[in-house]
Every structure is written in C-alpha cells, then in structure tokens.
Amino acid sequence: MAHVVLFHHLQGLTDGVRAFAERLRAGGHTVHTPDLFDGERPAAIDDGIALTKRIGDQVLDERADRAVADLPEGLVYAGFSWGAATAQRLAQTRPGARGALLYESCLPVTDEWALGPWPDGVPVQIHGMDKDPFFALEGDIDAARELVGIVGSDLAELFVYPGDRHLFTDSSLPSYDATATALVAQRSRDFLDRVR
C-alpha cells in the first residue's frame, strides 16, 4: 500500500478530485486530499488564479507543508495542474519521497527557475493531453519530456492522451473525459503498486 497526498487544482477540492482519490484508494492505497483553499471552489480557472494571488504563494506553500508535516515518510506526491506544481515542489525538496504523480503539469528541472535537480531514485509519472492549452501549449509537455530524459525510462513515464481539455480527470467539471480518466487511474494505480 502506498501513501499518497493528492493536491487539488485551481478550482479547489472538487467532488471530481475526491472521486479520483477514490479510484486510487480502490487499489488499496491511502490517499490524503488536503484542501489548500479552505473550502473555496472557484467557478473557473481564472477565478482560481485570482484566489491564489489573493492568498499568496507563501501562505499556500505553508498550507501544503503543514498538510504533509504529520504524514508518514515515504509519500507519493500527486496533484492536478496547479496542484501538480505543489506536488513536484515537495517531491523535489522534501526528503524521503517515494514517487510523484503529475497530472496536466510539469515544471522544468533545468532552467534558472528550477527547484533543483530531480532526486535520485524517485520515480515519476506524468499525464496530459496533447493539445491541452496549458499542458501542451505552455511548455509543460516539453518539461515533462526533458524530465523523462533526465530521470530515465526505467523511473519516469510520460503518458499523452488525444484531446484539448484541461482538468480532464475531474468528473465534476465539463472538461471531464471518462475514457482517458479510466486509463490515467489504471496507470496511476500500476505506478503506486510498483513504489509501495
């Protein structure tokens, strides 16, 4: 059994994020879903961006750090879009990560803004759509390919799905793609089975 902390996207801890967590739990894994927005669920991505600016990066980072502080070592850090950036930060900077599941986002690991190198021996799996305006068209897919190249195919996987939707794994949003999400969930459970 893997212990996972799953961070929500810019529209908050939606029912769809909770439903995806249940899919991972169905594989026998423990999944924690902290709410970094304290119950707020922005209606759209732009509203979520405005909320994060109002709260501030430092406060949000502190909330994420508090959310994992009392959890067991050896966590798998996971997140959707904005939450994937939080998961990646923790996987790269908090000792003892067992792995990372990055959905629809990947930060560069080699540019001047990078958090530092990817930690040795930490596996990562990245998922996104090939025409997603955020993941594919803003450079995340390129960062993901670079990360897989650096880490190596024995520890890193990138899965790209046909489509142009962002937040396609959230069953409570209009962007939901049930077929792709089923595949994402299965591949994620397979990953968690390997790292437990």
Q: What is the pLDDT of residues 126-173, one digit of tens each?
A: 999 999 999 999 999 999 999 999 999 999 999 999 999 999 999 999
Spell 81-91 as b/e; 16+ CB within 10 A means b.
bbbbbbbbbbb
Q: What pLDDT shows up at residue 73?
A: 85
With CA atoms as reference, report the closest residue to 37 among 16, 53, 21.
53
Tell me the C-alpha to C-alpha distance, in Å, between residue 182 and each of 24, 66, 93: 11, 31, 30
pLDDT, position 38 = 96
Q: What is the largest CA-CA distance in the chain?
A: 41
DSSP state of 12: B
Instruction: Say what the pLDDT of residue 116 is.
Output: 82
- At residue 61 the predicted structure's pLDDT band, cuts being 50, 70 and 90, is very high
CATH number assigned to the domain comprising residue 120: 3.40.50.1820
What is this structure's pTM? 0.96
Q: What are phi and psi of 94, to 5 degrees?
A: -100, 120
What does the alpha-carbon distance between residue 67 and residue 88 come to, in Å, rounded to a whole number?
15
Structural domain range at position 96: 3-195
Q: Which residues fall within 8 angstroms of residue 192, CB to CB, at 6 or more apart?
A: 2, 4, 24, 27, 29, 76, 99, 101
**Number of domains the chain is built from:** 1
pLDDT tens per residue across span 87-116:
999 999 999 999 999 999 999 998 777 788
pLDDT of residue 114: 75
Q: Using alpha carbons only, give the angle 174, 178, 179 rounded to the nearest 5 degrees.
A: 140
Confidence bin at 10 (pLDDT 50/70/90): very high
